[in-house]
Structures are given as C-alpha cells and as structure tokens.
Amino acid sequence: MIFFDNVSKIYTPTSAALKNVTLRIMPKEFVSIVGASGAGKTTLLKMLIAEEKPSEGRIFLDGIEITGLSYRELPKVRRRIGTVFQDYKLLPQKTSFENIAFAMEAAGLADEEIKESVPQVLELVGLLDKSDSFPHELSGGEKQRVAIARALVNRPEVIMADEPTGNLDPINTWEIVKLLVKINELGTTVILATHNKEIVDDLGRRVVALENGQIVMDEEKGKYVI
C-alpha cells in the first residue's frame, strides 16, 4: 500500500504546493489524480519517488518510509515504481530496444535477462517491430509506448504516469489509456495524473481531485468535477 500521511510541501514560504494530504492507494488500484495546473499533482508524484521531500508528513510504500531512506537505499525503492512523463524522456541516440535495456543495465541485470525481457515488454506495448527504431523515427504515441515499456521492464508494482497523453492526439491518447488499463489488469497499480476530463470520466475508476494542494474529492468511480 502507498500511504501519504498528512503530507505538506512548501517550496516557497508564501504558498504551499500540498497541504495536509492523506491518501492511501491499495495494490492493483487504478487512481487518477486530477486538478488544475498548479494544483500539486506533479509534486505529489515526485514525492512518491523521493525526487522531492515533504516539508511535513511521511510517505510509505508497503511500510517502508520513503521519506526516511538514505541515498544508498533509494534506487531499490525507486525500481518498484515505474515512471512515465509527458515528454517521454527517451535517449535520442538509443533505439527502442536500447532505451529499455538501459533501464535494466542501470538496475544491474544480466545480459541474458535483458535479451529475454526487452522483447517481452515491446510485445506487450505492441512495438516489437520498432525494436531497432530510434526515437526520431517513432510517432508520439509510439514514443510513449516505448517509455511505458521501459517503465515496466523491471516489473514495478506501481506505474505512475504524469500527464502521459499531454502531447498526443485523441487516438493516440486512447491507445495509451487502454495500455495503462491493460497493465493495471495484469496486476500493476497505476497512478495517472491528468488534466483530461474525458479520460477520467470514461475510465470510471477512482479519482482524487486536488485544488490548491488539498484533496477536495476522492471517489471510487469518480468523475472529473473541477
């Protein structure tokens, strides 16, 4: 379980990006985090991977306090959470295969494992035929699918996606959403931060709404109300 225990984040003394956020996310849930620009969605996600530290409160992943980990301990916990971003963050000089393999190399995995796992995740995202393509040879939707494959390859328990469809047209947006649903059905917790009202309404899953850094709605089968 992911547990935000009364978490606040203050970047500048005059305003809080998050205020007293308490949130539990159970294994295998699909949760959308919605809210206007500046509401605190990215801040919330960054704290889960310890890219930002809360000013107050604590964050736990299965009982491990993320906020209390040393730099040496962090990579192991970060590998349990796959990350996907709006701008893909693929390495331009590497092929799809190499981008995904790189995440496994960084995790210290052996070549045999890499050769076995990379085609598996490429197949899962429907891009086995683009294995040797470079990012500039891929469409936006394809780039995002490679990024999702990379996020999955170390078999994380959680995938967090921060506005993953922000640069995509409606058709590619749905391909990515369907893929996230499929990944969730295979047993991975999905946390999706998005502005996209249509996605959230159509998903019919849990919705947590942030407004000025506070949770103003948390509903199973929610709709985007802000």
- Name the site residues for Mg ion (rule: CB under 5 A): 41-42
Q: Is 209 in the site for ligand ATP (CB under 6 A)?
A: no
Least distance CB 182 / ligand ATP (angstroms)? 25
The DSSP letter of residue 136 is G
Task: Return the structure tokens found at 137.
Answer: 């040879």
- How many Cα atoms within 13 Å fall on the side-chain side of residue 60? 13
Q: Is 11 in the site for ligand ATP (CB under 6 A)?
A: yes
Query: Which CB, 14 or 70, lies closer to ligand ATP?
Result: 14
Q: How many residues bind ligand ATP (CB under 6 A)?
A: 12
173 vs 15: CA distance, rounded Å: 33
Query: Which CB, 133 or 212, lies closer to ligand ATP?
Result: 212
Query: Which CB, 163 or 175, lies closer to Mg ion?
Result: 163
Question: Counting every residue, how long is the chain?
Answer: 226
Burial 42-56 (b: 16+ CB within 10 A, else e): bbbbbbbbbebebee
Q: Is 70 in the site for ligand ATP (CB under 6 A)?
A: no
Query: Which CB, 110 or 225, lies closer to ligand ATP?
Result: 225
Q: Is 37 in the site for ligand ATP (CB under 6 A)?
A: yes
- How many Cα atoms within 13 Å fall on the side-chain side of residue 118? 23
Contacts with ligand ATP by CB under 6 A lie at: 11-12, 17, 35, 37-43, 195
